[in-house]
Amino acid sequence: MKHWVEAARVRTLPLSVSGIIVGSFYAMSQGMFNWNIVIFALLTTLGLQILSNFANDYGDGVKGTDNNDRVGPKRAVQSGVISPAEMKRAIIITSLITLLFAVLLIYFAFKEKYLLFSLIFLVLGILAIASAIRYTVGKGAYGYRGYGDVFVFIFFGMVSTFGVYFMFSKSLDWLLLLPATSIGFLSVGVLNLNNMRDEESDRKAGKNTIVVKNGGAWAKKYHFFLVISAMVLVLIFAFLNEFHFDQYFFVVAYFPMISHLMTVYRNKTPRLLDPELKKLAISTFLLAVLLALCLIFFISDVVVNYV
């Protein structure tokens, strides 16, 4: 069990649900909420993230990308604690469980009234599962061609945030594009850190991530663009939503992000960036939670109620 928990890479899970939190509480701020949708959206997203982690472990393991040159934590298939056959079986089981969660989510969101919406989201769910697996698995794995950033941005930013909101409202609110893009950028930022850390070993193994293609110096600038843009977009979202002064409490999450950017700026040895993955992932989760709370509460009102 210990090895399976490690293979699931628990430290990545809070990041994956950030879009669900923002989209759900934005709907709540408009008077729409359903716990069944929230719960199964969270379960589906967690399933996708765990599936992606298992597939990454398997794909990089059988391709030999995970080897002694790798900087991060030892992978299960690489170290031999889980065999490729066992991991492949886990990928199939996780895919089926995630699909089940997705079907239940679609049922609770649309019931029998919106057949077209149900079919669209079912297709999106299947595509998400296939994309999570194809990131590193197979000869045409798109993670080896530098397209991992696109997958992360679309599914953990756009689809996650917009998708769950649509399940509540049956409509799109284009203002939500701002925090959805922000969550997407920060999620890509975590992947970018991972690729910066592994640049040397990935290059040797022929894994042509966007960092390998463009180099570490470019990746740093790209990283600053992702994180700073994400922070600015949420501020614009708050301004356009006419947040009260006390609703800007979400900027508390910016402090660890700024500290993180300073660390990245000073970094000269990419392998030392590994702890920053967790810092940025938790900061993104914190931003999502605080923004969600600020959407439905005035901080002063909460304090008054408790006093």
| Cβ atoms of 162 and 176 closer than 8 Å | yes
Q: Which of 305, 37, 288, 295 is nearest to 183 (CA)?
A: 288
Q: Which of 11, 27, 10 is nearest to 179 (CA)?
A: 27
pLDDT at 79: 75
| Cβ atoms of 199 and 240 closer than 8 Å | no
pLDDT at 145: 83
| Cβ atoms of 128 and 155 closer than 8 Å | yes
pLDDT at 13: 87
DSSP string, the chain: -HHHHHHTTGGGHHHHTHHHHHHHHHHHHTT---HHHHHHHHHHHHHHHHHHHHHHHHHHHHHT-SSTT--SSPPHHHHTSS-HHHHHHHHHHHHHHHHHHHHHHHHHHHTTT-HHHHHHHHHHHHHHHHHHHHTTSSTT-GGGGT-HHHHHHIIIIIIHHHHHHHHHHSS--GGGHHHHHHHHHHHHHHHHHHHHHTHHHHHHHT---HHHHH-HHHHHHHHHHHHHHHHHHHHHHHHHTT--GGGGGGGGGHHHHHHHHHHHHH---GGGGHHHHHHHHHHHHHHHHHHHHHHH--HHHHHHHH-
pLDDT at 112: 80
pLDDT at 179: 96
pTM of this prediction?
0.89
Please list, in sequence order, all residues whose beta carbon lies within 8 angstroms of the beta carbon of residue 149, skipping any fewer than 6 positions away: 188, 191, 192, 210
Dihedral sign of CA atoms 25, 26, 28, 32 in order? negative
Tokens linked to 72: 């991060």
Q: Which of 191, 187, 259, 182 is nearest to 219 (CA)?
A: 191
pLDDT tens for the chain, 307 residues: list them. 787 888 888 878 889 999 999 999 999 999 898 999 999 999 999 999 999 888 888 877 776 665 555 565 666 777 778 888 998 999 999 999 999 999 999 999 998 888 999 999 999 999 999 988 888 787 777 878 888 899 899 989 999 999 999 999 999 899 999 999 999 999 999 999 989 988 888 888 788 889 999 998 999 999 999 999 999 999 999 999 989 888 899 999 999 999 999 999 999 988 888 899 999 999 999 999 999 999 887 544 443 343 3
pLDDT at 303: 39
pLDDT at 69: 58
pLDDT at 259: 95
